[in-house]
């Protein structure tokens, strides 16, 4: 039963997050476009704002639809976890829905339809409020997850219910701050590749050349900055806190079965659970010790330092997910560095092989983000609240395997249909191209 509960929640959460990671990053682009439109009077910025705000709205709607399911799954599949941690996780998620969601959705309406009626200054404010709501929403959700990764502010845990001392301590969780910065940089990276890919597609097709160049210019610049920040300092900081507070997860991520002084950084290798070793390893000597503790001879704890009952229950999954994320991150930096160099030399818009690379790479930030979340969540096992509540003790005892399999298959079919519909609508929007520079209401009249 536990396997099916985890599969269902993992699938629905991963599918849902395909949408917020784009909207959180696009929110920054909308602010930049609106700022340029208002203060620099750039008509390309105005057209870009209208184009991407509609894709933002479409993505936002699909994110809401797929996210509602997760709220119900806490009760249907994880009732004992909900009873245990509802006071903590529930109030953070309630704040996300009450404050951040309504802030974002309310001002999104003004951003889409209120420019003519409200005026340019209110429209400018709306762009900032959409971003504020989107990024606040991300922080509150991550604060809830961070408490499950690194519980803080625990006052007592009587009668199977954990009580916390302060909501402010929950919000100030050091784990949440590092995880949030890493997550938001990854979201900007995703949107940068999407914006750049649309620009590359238009240039390769000979369409909307001015606007396509504008997309690429901003997409590459933000993509370069975010791809570097994803690695240093945010990714480095996230890794350090894993080794500080969840060293068994860190060992699984690196495929380190045995504690070592001067531990190597594994580039390639295959975990062998029978021999508890890595097959065919390619590694950099001492680099894991240097990156983690800044000393060549520092000892890094391996999996053998912990009881097997506390090991992640799927070490190969954690290991491969982590290395996929890191490997793709390296490719993103290399791609954006190359694109930025060609942009600086004023050759990017004519270099078709690089435009093709940018266009074809846009799905891979989604894969990297998903791999990162798999690393975080599968690596936390066997705990649903780290060190306090085991995952097996958080399920719903009266929901049987047949029910979980039935609903899981239903979600697979439903989300497949939603995914196809989303791709169709976004694809149609992209093929239709940018609208005129006139406000949306002007075509309808007052």
CB burial of 223-257 (b: ≥16 within 10 Å; e: otherwise) equals bbbbbbbbbeebbebbbbbbbeebbbbbbbbbbbb
Rounded distance, CA 90 to CA 82, Å?
8
pLDDT in tens, 245-262: 999 999 999 999 999 999
Across the range 287-314, mean pLDDT stands at 94
pLDDT tens digit sequence for 44-57: 999 999 999 999 99
Q: Tokens 């599968």 sit at which residue?
A: 378
Distance from the Cα of residue 24 to its chain's centroid: 9
Q: What is the pTM of this model?
A: 0.94
Residue 438: what pLDDT? 40
pLDDT at 441 over 50: no
Is a pLDDT exceeding 80 seen at residue 399? yes
Provide the CA 123 distance to its chain's centre, in angstroms.
28
Q: Domain limits of the chain?
A: 173-399
The chain-wide mean pLDDT, for the chain, equals: 93
Q: Using alpha carbons, select from 336, 366, 103 the residue that is nearest to residue 219.
A: 336
pLDDT value of position 445:
33
Confidence of residue 157 (pLDDT cuts 50, 70, 90): confident
Beta-carbon contacts of residue 154 (< 8 Å; ≥ 6 apart): 162, 163, 164, 165, 388
Tell me which residue has tokens 């097996």. 392
Is residue 150's pLDDT more than 60? Answer: yes
Q: Per-residue pLDDT tens for 173-213?
A: 999 999 999 999 999 999 999 999 999 999 999 999 999 99
Question: What pLDDT, on the 0 to 100 scale, is given for residue 87?
Answer: 87
**439: pLDDT strictly greater than 50:** no
Asked if 273 contacts 316 with a C-beta cutoff of 8 angstroms, the reply is: yes
Task: Tell me which residue has tokens 């846009």.
Answer: 362
pLDDT bracket for residue 436 (50, 70, 90): low
CA distance 28 to 131: 6
pLDDT of residue 65: 93
CA distance 221 to 229: 13
pLDDT at 402 over 70: yes
What percentage of residues in the chain have a pLDDT greater than 70? 98
């Amino acid at each position: 039963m536990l396997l099916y509960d985890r599969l269902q929640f993992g699938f629905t959460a991963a599918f849902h997050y395909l949408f917020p990671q784009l909207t959180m990053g696009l929110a920054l682009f909308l602010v930049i476009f609106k700022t340029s439109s208002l203060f620099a009077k750039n008509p390309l910025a105005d057209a870009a704002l209208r184009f991407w705000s509609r894709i933002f709205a479409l993505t936002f709607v699909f994110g809401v639809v797929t996210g509602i399911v997760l709220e119900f799954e806490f009760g249907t599949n994880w009732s004992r976890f909900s009873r245990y941690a509802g006071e903590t996780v529930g109030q953070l998620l309630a704040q996300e829905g009450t404050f951040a969601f309504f802030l974002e959705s309310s001002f999104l309406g003004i951003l889409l339809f209120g420019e003519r009626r409200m005026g340019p200054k209110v429209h400018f404010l709306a762009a900032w409020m959409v971003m504020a709501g989107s990024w606040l929403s991300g922080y509150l959700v991550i604060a809830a997850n961070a408490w499950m990764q690194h519980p803080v502010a625990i006052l007592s845990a009587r009668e199977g219910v954990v009580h916390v001392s302060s909501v402010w301590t929950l919000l100030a969780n050091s784990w949440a701050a590092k995880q949030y910065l890493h997550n938001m940089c990854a979201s900007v990276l995703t949107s940068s590749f999407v914006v750049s890919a649309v620009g590359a597609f238009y240039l390769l097709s000979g369409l909307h050349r001015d606007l396509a160049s504008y997309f690429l210019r901003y997409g590459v610049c933000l993509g370069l900055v975010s791809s570097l920040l994803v690695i240093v300092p945010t990714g480095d900081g996230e890794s350090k806190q894993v080794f500080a507070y969840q060293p068994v997860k860190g060992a699984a991520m690196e495929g380190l079965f045995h504690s070592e002084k001067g531990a190597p950084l594994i580039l390639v290798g295959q975990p062998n659970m029978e021999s508890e070793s890595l097959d065919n390893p390619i590694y950099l000597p001492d680099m894991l010790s240097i990156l983690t503790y800044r000393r060549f001879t520092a000892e890094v704890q391996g999996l053998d330092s912990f009881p097997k009952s506390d090991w992640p229950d799927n070490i190969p999954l954690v290991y491969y997910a982590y290395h996929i994320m890191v490997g793709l991150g390296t490719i993103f930096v290399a791609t954006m560095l190359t694109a930025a160099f060609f942009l600086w030399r004023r050759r990017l818009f004519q270099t078709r092989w690089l435009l093709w690379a940018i266009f074809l790479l846009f799905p891979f930030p989604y894969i990297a983000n998903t791999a990162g979340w798999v690393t975080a969540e599968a690596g936390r096992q066997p705990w649903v609240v780290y060190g306090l509540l085991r995952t097996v003790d958080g399920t719903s005892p009266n929901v049987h395997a047949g029910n979980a399999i039935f609903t899981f298959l239903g979600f697979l079919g439903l989300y497949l249909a939603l995914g196809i519909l989303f791709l169709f609508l976004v694809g149609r929007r992209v093929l239709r191209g940018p609208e005129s520079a006139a406000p949306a209401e002007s075509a309808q009249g007052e």
